[in-house]
Amino acid sequence: MMDVSRHPNIELITYAQVENIAGFIGNFTATIRKKTKYVDEKECTACGDCVKVCPVLVPDEFQQGFSSRRAIYIPFPQAVPSSYLIDMDNCLGTNPIACGKCKPACEKKCIDYDSRDEIITIDVGAVVVATGLKPYDPRPLDEYGYTRYENVITSIEFERLNAAGGPTQGHFIRPSDRKEPGSVGFIQCVGSRSKVRGHGYCSNICCMNTIKDSLLLQEHYPGIETSVFYLDIRAFGKGFEELYRKSREQGTKYIRGLPGEIREHHETNNLVLTVENTTTGKIELHEFDMIVLSVGVEPDKDSDKIKSMLSLSRTPDGFFLESHPRLKPVEVPTRGVFMAGFAEGPKDIKDSVCQAGAAASKVSNLLGAGKVRIEAVTSSIDEDLCTMCGRCVRVCPYNAITKSNKKANILPGIIEAACAGCGACGVECDYGAITMRHFTDAQYYSQVEAVLADKPGEKIVVFACNWCSYAGGDLAGTSRMSYPSSPHLIRTMCSARVNMDFVKHALKLGAPIVVVSGCHFSDCHYIDAVKNTQKRVEKLWDELEDLGIRPERVQLEWISAAEGAKFARVMKELELLRKQVTPKEIEETKRILIEAEKKKRGKKAAKKTVST
Amino acid sequence: MALENFHCLRCNHKYKAEFSKKEWPRELTCPKCKSNSVRWLKKRAAKGAGKKDS
C-alpha cells in the first residue's frame, strides 16, 4: 500500500465513498464523498499524543473486539496514510464541544472539529470494481453457539488472536480464561455449500486457511490437539495438496462430518460437539478447549449500489457477473468497467492478484490506445419520428441513451460507445423511431416470411438469442443430438430485440407455434435486457387470450450455450405441441389477427384525423 | 411474500408459488416439466370494467 501511495501516477483516496459514476467508456465521471477525518492527514505525524488524552473506549473493529481503541484512532497499524481520525459516532461531541481534549494535545494543530465531508469529482477513462468481501456471520447457526459460548470463535477472530500485531501479541489463548488451549477443533463450511444454512457456493479459501491455521498451531504449540470437521477438503492449487498432507502428518485429525450441536461444560468452559462421522457411520462426541468456525465469505453489502451505478449484473449468489466466464473473466458487460478479486467470486490471494493484474493490463491497453473499436450493431434514432416519450431511455440496460426533454425539445441521443446493441430500445419504441443497425425490423419480417413461405403449418418459428439459445442449438447439432426438423431459428442479438409484432406476424402467416428463446436471467449478455422479454411475452399472452387465441401458441424458453441437451428436449416437446394445433385453428388465428390489425389501423387513422 | 397462481403453458400444470412484485420479472420454471413458459395468472380487471353504461 505504501508503494501505491508513493507512485507518481496513482492518486490514493482513502476514507471515501463513491457516490455516483456517470458516463461511458473513456468518459466516466466519478463523484466521491471524501469523509472528513477531523485530522489533517498531511500534517499528522501519528505521534499519538491525542490518543493519550481521549477518554472514550470502544471495541476495536480491526481486532474483532478482542481489544479496545479510543474515539481518535488509526483504523489499523498498516493504514496508509498513517494519520489519526476521529470516530464521530463515539466521540463525546464537538458541537457543542463536550470533551475537546485531543485538540490542545496536538502540537501540530492538525485537529479541526469544523471540517466537513468533501465532494470531489474525477474524470476517468475506466473503472475497476474491487469491492472485496464480507465474512459470513455465523450467529444464525444457533447449534454452533457462536456468541453464546466464549470459546467458539470464527476463523477471522482466530487470525487476530494468532497475529503478532493482535490483541495478545500472537499468544494464542482462549477467551474464557486466557489460558493456552490444549485442543482446538475446526468446523468447515460454516455458511458455505448449503443454501439453507448460509450460501450455496463454496467459499474457496476456507479449507486452505484451516490447513494453514492447523499447521501454525502445531508449529507454535507442539503437542496441541487439532481436529478438522469437514465435508470434503478442497486442496486444488499448486502446493496445496502437499500442505494438506503435511498438516495430517503433523498430527491434525481430519474427521469427515459436520457437527450437529456444540455444548459447553459449565465448569471448565470446554466444548463438546456431537458429530456423525460419515466415514465410520457412527455418532461421536469430541471435547475441545476451543472451537474455530471456518466461516465462508459473501459479497460486500454495498454491491447493490455499485450494481446500479455501473449497470452491472450479478449471479444469483450476489457476485458480479463477468462478460464471459472463460474468455472475458475480468470484464463486465458495461464497456470500460473491469473487476478484480472477490467482487467476481470467492478466490484466494493468488487468483485475486492475477485478476487484478489482468484488469490493470486491460485498463492500460484501453487508455493507451486512446480510442475504442465498437460493434457496428448499435441503435440509431430517427429524429422525425421520435415523440420524446422517454421509454427507450428507461429500458436501456447500459444507460446508453441520453434523456429527452419534451418541454425543452431535446431529443434522446444514442451514446454509440456505450450502446451494446441489445435492441431493447427499438422494440420499446411504438413509433418506429429507433432502428437497430444490421438487425432491422424489415429484415426480421423478411426472415419470418421466408421461413413460412412454404408449408407454414409444419414449422415452428424460434427466435433465438445469439449468445445462448442459438449457441445451445449449435451445440445440440454438433453433439449430434436428434431433434425434429420443424424448428426454424431466427437469430437475434438478444431476446429483448424480439418485437411481439414479429411473433404476431408469424402467427398471421400460419405458424402453429412461435418460440422466443434467450439466456437465463443470470447469464444475460446485456445485463438484464432479458427481463424485457419476459414482460413483453407475458403481455402478448394476455393479448392473445383476449383475442381468443390460445396463449400456448407462443412459448418462452431460457436456454444457455451449454444446454444443447435442453435445446433438443425442448424442440421435441414443441413438436408435440405443434401437432396439437389444427389447420382450422391456424386459419382462425389468421382471421382474428388480420381483423385486429385492421381495427388497430382504423383507430390510428382516426386519431391522426382528429389531431390534424 | 404472497402466494400467486402460475400456469405452465407447456404441460398445463397449474400451481401456487411465492411471489414478490419487487423481484418481478424473474425466471420462472415449471416444477413439473421444467419449462420456462410459465404464466403468472395475475388478477386482471375485467374488460370494460369501470366504464359507465351509455
Q: Which among B27, B37, B44 is the nearest to A555, CB-wise? A: B37
Q: What percentage of chain B carries pLDDT values higher than 90?
A: 46
Distance from CA of A400 to the nearest CA of B (A): 22
Distance from CA of A413 to the nearest CA of B (A): 27
Q: How far apart are CA A104 and CA A109, in angstroms?
A: 8
CB contact under 8 A, A558 and B44: no
Chain A interface test: which of B4, B36, B42, B43 (most A C-beta within 10 Å): B36
The fold of the A374-433 domain, in CATH, is: Alpha-Beta Plaits (3.30.70)
Q: Supply the pLDDT for residue A513.
A: 97
* ipTM greater than cut 0.85: yes
CB contact under 8 A, A534 and B40: no
CB contact under 8 A, A538 and B40: yes
Contact yes or no for A169/A273 (Cβ under 8 A):
no
> Please, what sign has the CA dihedral across residues B26, B32, B35, B41?
negative
| Cβ-based contacts of B8 with chain A (< 8 Å) | none
> At residue B2, does pLDDT exceed 80?
no
CATH of A439-612, one of 3.10.350, 3.40.50, 3.30.70, 2.60.40: 3.40.50
CB contact under 8 A, A558 and B27: yes
CB contact under 8 A, B47 and A570: no
Q: Which residues between 496 and 525 in chain A have a beta carbon less than 8 angstroms from any beta carbon of chain B?
A: 520-522
Q: Which of A355, A365, A366 is nearest to A328 (CA)?
A: A355
What is the C-alpha radius of gyration for chain A, rounded to an integer number of angstroms? 31
For chain A, domain boundaries = 134-298, 374-433, 439-612
Chain A residue with minimum CA distance to B12? A552
- A163-186 pLDDT, tens digit per residue, is 999 999 999 999 999 999 999 999
Chain A residue with minimum CA distance to B46? A546
Count A/B contacts: CB-CB distance under 8 Å.
38
Distance from CA of A130 to the nearest CA of B (A): 26
Chain A residue with minimum CA distance to B25? A531
Task: Say whether residue A546 is in contact with chain B using an 8 A CB cutoff.
Answer: yes
User: Which CATH architecture fits A134-298?
Assistant: 3-Layer(bba) Sandwich (3.50)
Task: Say whether residue B26 is in contact with chain A using an 8 A CB cutoff.
Answer: yes
Instruction: Please state, in angstroms and as integers, the Cα–Cα distance from residue A234 to each residue in A188, A203, A204, following that order.
Output: 11, 10, 8
Does residue A167 have a cis bond before it (omega within 30 degrees)? Answer: no
Class of residue A47 by CB neighbours under 10 A (exposed 0-12, middle 13-18, buried 19+):
middle
Task: Say whether residue B44 is in contact with chain A using an 8 A CB cutoff.
Answer: yes
Distance from CA of B17 to the nearest CA of A (A): 17
Q: How far apart are CA A544 and CA A553, in angstroms?
A: 9
Distance from CA of B37 to the nearest CA of A (A): 5
Task: Say whether residue B47 is in contact with chain A using an 8 A CB cutoff.
Answer: yes
Q: Which among B27, B33, B39 is the nearest to A538, CB-wise? A: B39
Q: Supply the pLDDT for residue B54.
A: 37
Distance from CA of B27 to the nearest CA of A (A): 6
Instruction: Please state, in angstroms and as integers, the Cα–Cα distance from residue A521 to each residue in A489, A494, A559, B23, following that order.
Output: 21, 12, 10, 12
Distance from CA of A531 to the nearest CA of B (A): 6
CB contact under 8 A, A538 and B35: no
Please report the DSSP string for A222-283 in residue order.
TT-EEEEEES-----STTHHHHHHHHHHTT-EEEES--SEEEE-TTT--EEEEEEETTTTEE
CB contact under 8 A, A546 and B36: no
- A69-95 pLDDT, tens digit per residue, is 999 999 998 899 999 999 999 999 877
Task: Say whether residue A463 is in contact with chain B using an 8 A CB cutoff.
Answer: no
CB contact under 8 A, B39 and A557: no
CB contact under 8 A, A521 and B27: yes
CB contact under 8 A, A521 and B10: no
Task: Say whether residue B27 is in contact with chain A using an 8 A CB cutoff.
Answer: yes
- A470-494 pLDDT, tens digit per residue, is 999 999 999 999 999 999 999 999 9
**Residue A521 phi/psi, 5° resolution?**
-55, -40
CB contact under 8 A, A552 and B36: no
CB contact under 8 A, B36 and A542: no
| Cβ-based contacts of A546 with chain B (< 8 Å) | 47
Contact residues for A330 (Cβ-Cβ < 8 A; gap 6+): A322, A338, A339, A340, A344, A355, A358, A359, A362
Q: How far apart are CA A361 and CA A221, in angstroms?
A: 44
CB contact under 8 A, B10 and A555: yes
Which residue, chain included where needed, has cell 502428518?
A249
Does residue A484 have a cis bond before it (omega within 30 degrees)? Answer: no
Q: Supply the pLDDT for residue A611.
A: 62
DSSP letter, residue A396 = -
Task: Say whether residue A438 is in contact with chain B using an 8 A CB cutoff.
Answer: no
Task: Say whether residue B9 is in contact with chain A using an 8 A CB cutoff.
Answer: yes
Q: How far apart are CA A264 and CA A298, in angstroms?
A: 29
Per-run averaged pLDDT (10 residues), chain A, 612 residues: 90 94 93 96 93 95 94 93 93 84 93 94 96 94 95 96 92 94 97 93 96 96 96 93 96 96 94 96 96 95 86 86 87 93 94 96 94 90 92 92 86 91 94 93 96 96 95 94 96 96 96 96 87 95 95 96 95 96 96 93 76 60
Task: Say whether residue A541 is in contact with chain B using an 8 A CB cutoff.
Answer: yes
CB contact under 8 A, B35 and A570: yes
Distance from CA of A467 to the nearest CA of B (A): 18
